[in-house]
Amino acid sequence: MANYYDIDDILAEEELVPTVFQHGANGVGLFDSSDDADKVEAGSRAELPFWLVRELYLRQLVSIRVPPCFDRESKTREEIAADAAHVDLRSRSPYFYELGCKIALLIRDRTIGPFLLVAFQTRYRDVLVKAHALTLTMTPKYLTLLTNEETKLYEAGQSSIAAFKKWRMGGPRFQVAPVLGRKRKLT
Amino acid sequence: MASASDPHASAFSAAELEFLAEDETIEIVPNLKMDALNFISGDFGPFRPQIPAQAPLWLAVALKKRGKCTIRAPEWMSVVNLTQVLEAERDSDKFQPLPFHYVEISRLLIDHARDDIPDIYMVRSLVEDIKDVRFHKIGKGLESISAGGTFALKLKNLSAMEANIVRPFVTRALETFYKLGSSDMIQETDHAPNRQQTADRGPRRQLKDR
């Protein structure tokens, strides 16, 4: 509930997290649509959005299986360690860092924090160089690799450089207020 | 301009910075007679023909456009000085002291007072070179944020325009670094083990998991 009005924070909590039910529950068959019994057996697995998982987890109704992209022996970790800049994190989760933070704090996994930091440190450098160097035509291909956070960072860098270049080239010196463009009404 | 249409862009647009830079004073040689002007920022004048006087840049440009004065290019805009600055800029890692609004002032003068600046083409290309060297340095400096343990950046003598261009990027990046590097995320190790065990609940899961 850190940023109640932040749409990205809200969307990050929509990400699905794999969980295991610790108790059976009636009337919530929609979580586990394998049969018509309209109930969830203890021990069954389901992917639930994070905001729901947090509440259930704090009540000890479910246990969390760390999503594959944060898991200790996952392929993602190996890829990040090898060459973080070219890992497609967006396909893992568009809110990779935010979700990672939230999960790490919830289940108190001490390895996720440093892992996220290392990932961002190496990728940050690449974002920086590309934001300041790439021309607009080349961007779409690169942007597909970035998470939401990184995309925003990239765009922040890119747009300020573009604005500066436009100013230096001498764009329109004066902007006509929209009021002035209108023709005077005949009275 | 840019800030009005796009809230995520710089805090100032380049045009707004140019507006701020126009408050810097500069020496002009008027060729008209005019009494002293009393502005909020101070009194300027009186202006007498051929007697140099100080005036804010916007006034100087306005008079220049009407052919009422010549502008004396500031000292730092001489070819000699700019060459020195460029060399020093290339040699050392530090930023050389230049006027806070040097990008804007040089552009305004080059646009509006081309005939008053000696060696204008030389001056223009020198300023461009200095700007490029400094931007390259800023980029390198930003790369080094991630290398150290503390996420901070020291950019002494940075000019207004340079700071403004990197501002949106740097603030976002530092925010994220701060979030990921905060003590909650990193130094979770010592005081957590008790809660870690209760949270893990390994044996219980095995019973239920059959």
- Give the torsion through C-alpha atoms of A108, A109, A110, A111, to 10 deg: -160
Banded model confidence at residue B2, pLDDT cuts 50, 70, 90: very low
Confidence band of B57 (pLDDT split at 50, 70, 90): very high
d(CA A42, CA A22): 5
- Chain segment B99-142, per-residue pLDDT in tens: 899 999 998 898 888 888 888 899 999 999 999 899 888 888 88
Among B residues 73-132, those touching chain A with beta carbons less than 8 Å apart: 107, 111
Residue B84 is predicted with a pLDDT of 92
- Residues of chain A with pLDDT below 70 are 1-3, 29-38, 134-140, 171-176, 181-187
3-state secondary structure of B139: helix
pLDDT value of residue B200: 38
Q: Is B199 on the interface with A (CB under 8 A)?
A: yes
Interface of A with B (CB under 8 A): 20, 22, 42-43, 60, 63, 97, 101, 104-105, 107-108, 110, 112-114, 116-117, 120-122, 124-125, 128-129, 131-132, 149, 152-153, 155-157, 159-161, 163-164, 166-168, 170, 175
Q: Kindly determine whether residue A43 and residue B209, on different chains, have CB atoms separated by under 8 Å.
A: yes
Higher local confidence (pLDDT), A181 or B80: B80
* Burial class (CB within 10 angstroms; exposed 0-12, middle 13-18, buried 19+) of A187: exposed
User: What is d(CA B207, CA A35) in angstroms, rounded to the nearest whole number?
Assistant: 24
Report helix, strand or coil for B137.
helix
Are B38 and B119 contacting, i.e. CB atoms less than 8 angstroms apart? no
Q: Is pLDDT at B207 greater than 50 in this prediction?
A: no
pLDDT of residue B1: 40
Cβ contact A164–B142 (<8 Å): no
State the residue for tokens 């701060």.
B178
Contact between B199 and A170 using a beta-carbon 8 Å cutoff = no
Scan for tokens 């140099």, then name that residue: B52
B7 confidence band (pLDDT: 50, 70, 90): very low
For residue B52, the model assigns a pLDDT of 92
Predicted confidence at residue B28, as pLDDT, reads: 92
Three-state SS letters, B163-184: HHHHHHHHHHHHHHHHHHHCHH
* Rounded mean pLDDT, B46-67: 91
ipTM for the predicted complex comes to 0.75
Is residue B83 predicted with pLDDT exceeding 90?
Answer: yes
Distance, in angstroms, between A16 CA and closest chain B CA?
A: 20
Q: Would you state the pLDDT for residue B208? A: 39
Residue A167 is predicted with a pLDDT of 84
pLDDT (average), residues B162-168: 87
State which amino acid sits at residue A118: V
Check residue B44 and give left, alpha or beta (phi > 0: left; psi -120 to 50: alpha). beta
Tokens read off for B77: 């805009």
A25 and B191 in contact (C-beta within 8 Å)?
A: no
Measured in angstroms, the CA of A183 and the nearest CA of chain B are apart by: 24
pLDDT at B125: 92
Mind listing the pLDDT tens digit for each residue in A76-127?
A: 888 887 877 778 888 888 888 888 888 888 888 778 888 888 888 888 888 8
The confidence band for B191, taking pLDDT boundaries of 50, 70 and 90, is very low
Across B75-80, average pLDDT? 90
Enumerate domains of chain B plus CATH numbers: 14-189 (3.40.5.50)
CB pair distance less than 8 Å for B14 and A163: yes
- The partner residue sitting opposite A113, judged by closest CB among B185, B201, B208, is B185
B160 contact A CB<8A: no
